[in-house]
Amino acid sequence: MLSLLPRQPIHASVIALFAAFAALVVSAPTVAQQPATTIAPGEYVSEGGAGHLTLKPGKAGALNFAISSTGDNGHACSLEGELRNGRAKLEGVDDKKPCIVTMKMTPGGIDVKGGPDDACLIHCGARATFEMVYFQPAAACTASAVAATRKAFKQRYDGKQFAEARALLEPMLKTCDRSLFWLEKGRVRNDLAVTLHKLGDTATCRAVLQPLAEDAKMTDAGVRENYPPSDADMYLPIVRATRTNLKLCS
């Protein structure tokens, strides 16, 4: 005759084992989902492409950084140094007041601050600042990638390979909208628009130029009244090209 083992002890041990396993499964994601707090080497950009931050490995765990940013009327910031524990000490407005740059990782990117007070103004023009949040752009939107795409586009366009030229520029404009500088974005829009005109796609051409249409309605004098002098000088060729391309695609 077969001898059956009691069922209750086996059942209880299974429950205990399952409970222990469930506890592990529930607790594991808590560690995996912790937000990144460490500032890592790489290329970063601010919203609208006004600022660029480069971080490279330095000595003894430090990071070497370089920041360049552009403000109104051609004013700019340029500074570099060694970041250690999120802090860097640079030349200030005077010997008693050095410029202290701090970087903190946030959900939106690296938040860069300078101080105390006006100590860091020595590194910037009057209408520029480096105090921004810098995020890592998509691989296709780094400065080198954008330059390579623009070069490849021109080669295709000059070779009258308009469909291939469009296929290069159109995705970049969408993917890099957040990180492209406003002047560069205006040039890209016009290059894409004239390519679309060559392909006979006038509706998409007008849509691509729509963000520039209001400024295109202004006279040159109107543009100069609404923008700082240096910005107007750089923007006017874009506005004039927009006027021409809107007519081509009307």
Per-residue pLDDT tens over the stretch 49-96: 999 999 999 999 899 999 999 999 989 999 999 999 999 999 998 888
Q: E strands, the chain, where?
A: 42-46, 51-57, 63-70, 76-83, 87-94, 97-106, 109-115, 133-135
148 and 57 within one domain: no
201 and 223 within one domain: yes
Residue where a domain stops, chosen among 108, 135, 162: 135
Copy the structure tokens of residue 131: 């105090």
175 and 155 within one domain: yes
pLDDT average, residue stretch 162-190: 96
243 and 154 within one domain: yes
184 and 97 within one domain: no
pLDDT average, residue stretch 89-106: 93
**Rounded-to-integer distance, Cα 215 and Cα 56, Å:** 40
The reply to whether 239 falls in a domain is yes
**Number of domains present in the structure of the chain:** 2
Whole-number mean pLDDT of the chain?
Answer: 87
153 and 243 within one domain: yes
Enclosing domain of residue 195: 139-248
**Rounded-to-integer distance, Cα 107 and Cα 29, Å:** 18
The reply to whether 206 falls in a domain is yes
The reply to whether 182 falls in a domain is yes
127 and 149 within one domain: no
The secondary structure of residue 234, as a DSSP letter, is: H
The reply to whether 84 falls in a domain is yes
pLDDT above 90 covers a percentage of the chain that reads 81
The reply to whether 15 falls in a domain is no
Does the predicted TM-score (pTM) go above 0.95?
Answer: no
157 and 98 within one domain: no
167 and 228 within one domain: yes
The reply to whether 21 falls in a domain is no
Residue where a domain stops, chosen among 110, 135, 160: 135
Per-residue confidence (pLDDT) for residue 227, from 0 to 100: 96
236 and 157 within one domain: yes
179 three-class SS: coil
Beta 63-70 vs 133-135: how paired, if at all? unpaired
**Rounded-to-integer distance, Cα 205 and Cα 202, Å:** 5
Residue where a domain stops, chosen among 73, 101, 135: 135
Residue 131 vs residues 46, 199, 233: alpha-carbon distances, Å: 10, 43, 26
The reply to whether 184 falls in a domain is yes
The reply to whether 91 falls in a domain is yes
197 and 104 within one domain: no
Q: Using alpha carbons, select from 188, 183, 227 the residue that is nearest to residue 209.
A: 188
Q: E strands, 71-221, where?
A: 76-83, 87-94, 97-106, 109-115, 133-135
21 three-class SS: helix
Residue 128 vs residues 51, 68, 78, 222: alpha-carbon distances, Å: 10, 10, 10, 24
241 and 209 within one domain: yes
What is the tens place of the pLDDT at every residue in 225-244? 999 999 999 999 999 999 99
Higher-pLDDT residue of 94, 199? 199
Higher-pLDDT residue of 33, 224? 224
Cβ neighbour number for residue 144 with a 10 Å cutoff: 8
